Structures are given as C-alpha cells and as structure tokens.
Chains A and B, each alone.
Chain A
Amino acid sequence: MLKLDPRTCIILLVIANAVIFIQRNIAIEIIWVGLLLLLLCICGAVRSVVKLAAVFTACIVIQYFVFPVAPKSVVSIFFILISYARKVIPCLIVGTLTMKTVTVRELTAALLKWKVPYSLIIPLSVSIRYFPAIKEEIGYIRDAMKLRSIRFTDKFECMIVPIMMSATTTSDELSAAAVTRGIENPCKKTSIIDIRFGIADFVCIAVGVLFIALAVIFR
C-alpha cells in the first residue's frame, strides 16, 4: 500500500483546486478524477473510491442526460447542487486521501517542516481533531431532545448550550494535557516522525502540474 508524504497531499489539494477552477474541458475533468481515484485506490481506500466514483458518475449522468429532459423548476433547484458537487469532487478525493492516510501528528510534522508558526499549527490541528467530536456530541443531544420532546423554538438553545459547555470543558482538559506534555516549553520542538519525499510523491506532483498545463491549454 502506497503512503504519500503529508506535504504531497497538501500540494495535491492545491493542484486539484487549481485544475478544477481552470479547466473547461470535460475530458480533462474525467481523466483527472479517474487518476485521483486510482491514486486513492492504490493508497488503500477502496470503499471510498467506490462511493466517490458513484457520486461523480451520478453527477455527470444527471447533468448531461437527465437535466435536458427534466422540468425547469426541478432543474433550477438541483442544478447548482449537482454542478457544485461535481466541482468539489476532486478536492474531496484528495481530502479523503489526506484523512485516511495522514494522521494529525504527521500533518503537524509536515507543517513544522514548512516552518508554519506554532500559533497556527496548534489551533488548526485541534480544529481538525474536534470535528468528529462535534458530530458525536450532536448525535447525543438529538437523542436527548427526542426523549424530552423539546419544542421547535427551543431547539437552537438546547443544541448550542450543551455544545458550548462541552467545548469549554474539552478545551480546559486538552490544555491541561498539552501543558503537561510541554506545549509551553519555548525551545524548538522535535518530532519522532520522519517525513521525506519519495519517488511516488514526485510522480504525483509532476502529474498534477502536467494537468494544470493541460487545463490551461485546452480551456
């Protein structure tokens, strides 16, 4: 199973964004998405590949075969959603790749190598880590609200207050843990994770740059 350098993932993300915003050619788009899916497949996330490929195909099919015959009112509601989903998919593929193969620790190590200041790395990595926690939290709150049949008008309050309370507690606990591990130590921090570019990384970036060039030429 291939393992890319976290920095390659970030660079690919930028390239995926660039290609999608530059390109106007559907052939390039499909090949680009196909290659990214192949990369994701090689990196071992086969289930995500199937899901993303299905969504992408559905978007294309709906846009080119269903919309021309569908009633105008239906099209106006769904068109932007579908086109948007199609635009986001390449970035979503690279995003999935990053999520599945890169741990937050490795991401931090990569950003450190790029000399990103600590005052950005710390909140960013905490943020990324906290998303799953929010999702879980909302699930619990929903269950609790169902049990007590909260009125619709009270829902916002009943949702936001527990979330904020637990966020505050979490930030206190997390800080205590981080301070214990020396987050406030002013000296330069080292990392046990050794990251370096390999051949696969260079190939990925080269192909990405090639696609930017293709997108510019065939727009």
Chain B
Amino acid sequence: MNVQRSSNGKMKGKELITVGIFSAIYFAINLVFMVLGGLHPIIWILMPAFIALFTGVPYMLLCAKVPKIGAIMLMGLITGIIYFATGTFTVVILVAFLLACILAEAIRYMTGFRSSVGNLLSYVAFSVGMIGSPLPIWLFRNDFLAQIKEQGIGEHYVQVLDDLATGKMLVIMIILTIVCAFIGAAVAKVLFRKHFEKAGIV
C-alpha cells in the first residue's frame, strides 16, 4: 500500500486516528442508505446518488484535515472491511470502490491536496464508486436475475428490477450520482464557510 510513501511525509498517528473517526461517520451515513435500498429497487438504484448527496461533509473535512496520500484509500478500505464483516458485499462493489478510491487519490495527488477544485473532482470520483452496489444488475443482467430468482427473491421484485435495468436507467444513475456529488460538495462548502471555518476547524 502507498500509505507509507507520500509527497509530504507519511501519515502519523494523529492522521490515522482522524481517518478512523471520519471513516466511521462516512460508514454510518452510508449504512442508512444501504438499508433503505432494501425497501424498493428504485431506492437501491438511486442509492449512490443519495449517498453522494449526504457524505460530502465528512469527505471534504477529511480531505482538509489529512492532506496526504492514502487517506481516502484507507477510508474506502475500512468501509469495505466493515461491509465485508456484515456480509453485505459483492465482488463488483469492492472492485468499483477500489477503482474509485485510486482515482480519487490520483486526483488529489495531482492537484496537490489543497485545491478545492481537485477535492471536488476527487469526491465526484469517489462517489461514483458506490454505483458498484447496483451495478451487477446491468453487468450480469441475466445471470443476476436468474440467481436472485433462484435464491428466492420474489418474481414481482425481479420483474420490477428487470424493467428498471435499462441502458437509459444506467446513464441516468451515473449522471444523477455525479450531479448529487457536485451538490453534496457544494453543501459541504457552504457549511464550511458557515460553521467550520469560523470555529477554526478547517
């Protein structure tokens, strides 16, 4: 892992602890929407967008607090490990999440960690990683539908899912996630100005 090497020193105890705490908050918000996603297929498909809308503040604050390589990678890793521990993961989401984290790290690295545009773009990249959760619907469309049918998931639900899983829906999901990531980052920015900068946290 790249955590050890970094452009401006490796992460020390303090930064590692900060990453741990913000990961917990990110995961908590993430989990709320994961659970909601089980209620109806449409919520599942829109889940990455919802998550992008609400996790902007912890992400941006983490970026501001730990301007070093590896912070986002670790956050993604911890989220992945905890999801694994609760048994709610597929390989697709792990791969998608990993790619998104690497991309987000690369963007942060290239923009020098402090640029607000860079952090914004890295947040967008990071958010898009969550589409790994509903992505199997498209990737293994027939396989997946057959499999969940076999596992005893209702015909009716599968039908709803099948109707939703069109190419158009995929594009809508990705665009919506990106738009929501921008909005989430903007909200974070407003809250930074209004609260965190005054309190001297950022």
Contacts and interface: CB of A to CB of B under 8 A. Distances in A.
Interface of A: 13, 16-17, 20, 24, 63, 67, 72, 75-77, 79-81, 83-84, 87-88, 90-92, 95, 98, 117-120, 122-128, 130-131, 134, 156-157, 160-161, 163-165, 167-168, 170-172, 174-175, 178-179, 183-184
B195 A161 contact: yes
30 contacts: A17-B84, A76-B160, A79-B154, A79-B157, A80-B38, A80-B39, A84-B38, A88-B86, A91-B87, A98-B85, A119-B10, A119-B16, A120-B1, A120-B3, A120-B77, A120-B78, A122-B13, A122-B20, A123-B74, A126-B24, A127-B78, A157-B191, A164-B25, A165-B195, A165-B196, A165-B201, A167-B22, A167-B58, A178-B14, A179-B14
A130 B157 contact: no
A77 B39 contact: yes
Contacts of A95: 85-86
B13 A178 contact: yes
Contacts of A124: 20, 78, 81
Interface in B59-89: 61, 65, 70, 74, 77-78, 81-82, 84-88
Contact of B74 (A20, A90, A119): A119
A118 B17 CA distance: 11
Given A123-B74, A127-B24, A168-B201, A77 B153 contact: no
Contacts of B201: 164-165, 168
Given A67-B154, A72-B156, A175-B14, A77 B20 contact: no
B40 interface: yes
Contacts of A122: 13, 16-17, 20
A47 to B, nearest CB: 20
Size class of the contact patch on chain B? 35 or more
B21 A167 contact: yes
Given A16-B87, A88-B87, A134-B28, A126 B17 contact: yes
A117 B153 CA distance: 40
Interface in B18-75: 18-25, 27-28, 38-41, 54, 57-58, 61, 65, 70, 74
Dominant secondary structure of chain B at its interface with chain A: helix
Nearest to B57: A160
Given A117-B1, A123-B23, A178-B13, 7 more contacts: A76-B40, A79-B156, A83-B152, A127-B24, A164-B61, A168-B61, A171-B17
- Sorted nearest first, the 5 A-B pairs with minimum C-beta distance are A126-B20, A91-B87, A123-B20, A183-B13, A175-B14
B180 interface: no
B153 A80 contact: yes
A155 to B, nearest CB: 12
A66 to B, nearest CB: 12
A178 B10 CA distance: 17
B27 A127 contact: yes
A29 to B, nearest CB: 11
A179 B14 CA distance: 8
Which of B10, B25, B81 is packed against the most chain A CB atoms within 10 Å? B25
